[in-house]
Structure 1
């Protein structure tokens, strides 16, 4: 299930607060898109888990 939420966030490209659309896939964040300039930040959950899991395990073991 995909859901969309509207929010007022700071856009790095517009250099000001603008309306954004935040998309969730199930309970996880999928992307954030500026409604003014169209800049979109996509969240790759698998890559985040892979990167931070390895880092976390390294920290615990050292």
Structure 2
């Protein structure tokens, strides 16, 4: 899952502490960008998008097994949350892709 975090770090280019955006993909740092000088450290967008795509495809392929397990464990209770999950998942994936392309 893609996660974006804002934090203050020391920028070598600016030679001072500035606000940075850290982009994580599955708990691994993929890029760090200084908001002041826009210097980016990390992998390029195409490589990040490729990694995200591979991870997403793996996740989609395992989803039916996870859903089956949830249905068996929770029964009818799970079915009430199921429609919400169907609509929110594509939105979250598109949002993650736009976040990758934005940086």
Which runs of no fewer than 5 residues in structure 1 stay unpaired? Answer: 44-62
| Structure 1 residues 1-16: aligned runs within 5 Å | 1-16=1-16
- Which stretches of structure 1, 4 residues or longer, exceed 6 Å deviation after superposition? none
TM-aligned CA deviation for residue 26 of structure 1: 1.1
TM-aligned CA deviation for residue 9 of structure 1: 0.3
In 1, distance between residues paired with 2:20 and 2:36? 8
- Structure with the higher strand share, 1 or 2: 1
* Structure 2 partner of 1:29: 29
In 2, distance between residues paired with 1:7 and 1:42? 16
In 1, distance between residues paired with 2:29 and 2:17? 20
> What TM-score, normalized to structure 1?
0.66
**Which protein, 1 or 2, shows the higher relative CO under an 8 Å CA cutoff with sep ≥ 6?**
1
- State the Cα deviation string for residues 32-53 of structure 1 (Å, max 9, x = none): 000000001005xxxxxxxxxx
RMSD: 1.5
